[in-house]
Homo-oligomer: A and B are copies of this chain.
Amino acid sequence: MLVSRVPWCSLCRGALRRATGTSPGPAVSGRRWLSQDVIKEFETIFGPKNVSTTEAIKEQHSRDEGPHTPAPPDVVVFAKDTSQVSQTAKLCYKKGIPLTAFGSGSGLEGGVNAAKGGVCIDVSQMDKMVELNASDFDVVVEPGLTWRNLNQQIRDTGLWFPVDPGADASLGGMCSTSASGTNAVRYGTMRENVLNLEVVLPDGTVIYTAGKGRRTRKTSAGYNLTNLFVGSEGTLGIITQATLRLHSAPQVVVAAVVPFPTTTAAVEAVVQTLQCNVPVARIEFLDEHTITACNKYSKTDYKLKQPSLCQVDIVTEIAHGNGASELHWAREPEERSKLWKARHAIFYATCALRPNTRCYVTDVCVPISRLPALVAAAKEDIDQHGIVATVVGHVGDGNFHTMMLFDPQDPKDTANIFDVAHKLASRALDLNGTCTGEHGIGIGKRGLLVREVGESGVQLMRTLKNAVDPKGIMNPGKLFL
């Protein structure tokens, strides 16, 4: 069962060296664990059809949509229920086999890459809505259900789940990475919208972070286990069920695309909007290249050559005070839907700007007053390095992404991207910010985590990791160097 391993991502290796002065060390240990006996045990748990060691399946489960070098697992198992996940953990724990969960594979920081090989447990078939409590504004879901499918299923109730990352991510994955999206300024991120989790611990024990069946909007009963697992990127356990908060779908919605003369003016408008307590659900910044990419890919025709804000319920007075012009209103549901579809397709629209390349998406987040300077610096760096890129931002949160295209076969091109990304993260850290607002640490930002949280903070995280997962089987090679 030994497979030849893809070498460690040279990009991450470089980034790590720069960030910490250390190398990630030998990537993979042996594969002694995957004997035929173990495979047979998995076949007993899942049925032979749901256990695969074929190269194609392993390849499919070797990476997400990010730029990190794929790392296939040694076996992929397809789970249908919590009991199977628990049995798998128990077996892996006994044998010391690495165990990595896989949802929709739409992450960006290599969270699902099987960095140390072992077992990949695909939970995408655990995609049921288990229980909808409409009058309590909550829903219980399996981890493989995507946020778009959830919203489709509850459309008739007048409720919705507002966390909307770019891709049609699975809700389990969104819990794991502490995802957010365009609505966080009003509705919060996953941290604020998960009420309870069913989690399989490394030894197979099934726990409920808030207690079985509990779904209160708030609690102060002991340690906040829910938010220990939200954002833990599968390194402490595997999420097998989530209880989520729902919200009333907004009834009166107005959307507009508002061009501004400068990035600073656009961000100033956001600060003033927030200060006026306007119930804004989304304020998205799009740079001029993004508008071009959007128009080309999504067949829209926003005639703008300036940085713009996509807003809901915009206060035109404030926008005009900051030099906004040519408001493009979208009052009708169809037009709004087109607008947000175009916004959500920006990753693919950007990729289409330079075919046969890969896209590196940065994810810095800073206090909002620091945003204009940081966006300007990022755009200058991108221009200076001659990179094809778009810049979009959830500016209400101080969070923005540069989507930079590069040819992974071209070392100079690759180095360019990583230089700019690293400089951007460093600048964000210098401005009281974070290197990752919503994508997570994964493989690529482990060095940056140390700079961000400090040695003592990361040491505390390691203490927690070692206490919960003493054998280190859960998604090894992530978060920590």
A interface with B by C-beta (< 8 Å) = 133, 135-138, 158, 177-180, 184, 188-189, 191-192, 201, 205-225, 227-228, 230-232, 248, 250-251, 271, 274-277, 279, 365-370, 397-399, 429, 432-441, 445, 448-449, 452-454, 456-458, 460-461, 463-468, 479
User: How far apart are A193's CB and chain B's nearest CB, in angstroms?
Assistant: 10
User: How far apart are A265's CB and chain B's nearest CB, in angstroms?
Assistant: 15
Most buried by B among A214, A216, A397, A460: A216
Assembled-state Cα–Cα distance A106/B452 (Å): 35
Assembled-state Cα–Cα distance A140/B449 (Å): 22
Q: List 11 A-B contacts (CB under 8 A).
A: A189-B218, A207-B457, A211-B452, A211-B457, A214-B434, A216-B366, A218-B399, A221-B441, A223-B465, A224-B227, A225-B461
Assembled-state Cα–Cα distance A388/B365 (Å): 52
Contact B432 A179 (CB under 8 A): no
Contact B436 A221 (CB under 8 A): yes
Contact B368 A437 (CB under 8 A): no
In-complex Cβ contact of A220 among B178, B217, B271 (8 A): B178
Q: Which residues of chain B come closer than 8 Å to A207, judged between CB atoms?
A: 454, 456-457, 460
Q: Which residues of chain B come closer than 8 Å to A397, judged between CB atoms?
A: 216-218
* Known A-B contacts A136-B368, A192-B188, A248-B276; A456 and B211 likewise in contact (beta carbons under 8 Å): no
Assembled-state Cα–Cα distance A248/B280 (Å): 13
User: How far apart are A86's CB and chain B's nearest CB, in angstroms?
Assistant: 12
Assembled-state Cα–Cα distance A468/B227 (Å): 17
User: How far apart are A398's CB and chain B's nearest CB, in angstroms?
Assistant: 6
Assembled-state Cα–Cα distance A456/B393 (Å): 41
Most buried by B among A209, A223, A275: A223
Assembled-state Cα–Cα distance A445/B365 (Å): 39
Assembled-state Cα–Cα distance A251/B315 (Å): 15
Most buried by B among A184, A248, A397, A453: A453
In-complex Cβ contact of A135 among B219, B228, B368, B452 (8 A): B368
* Known A-B contacts A365-B218, A369-B135, A454-B212; A251 and B277 likewise in contact (beta carbons under 8 Å): yes
User: How far apart are A23's CB and chain B's nearest CB, in angstroms?
Assistant: 21
Contact B222 A453 (CB under 8 A): yes
The chain B residue sitting closest to A445, CB to CB, is B221
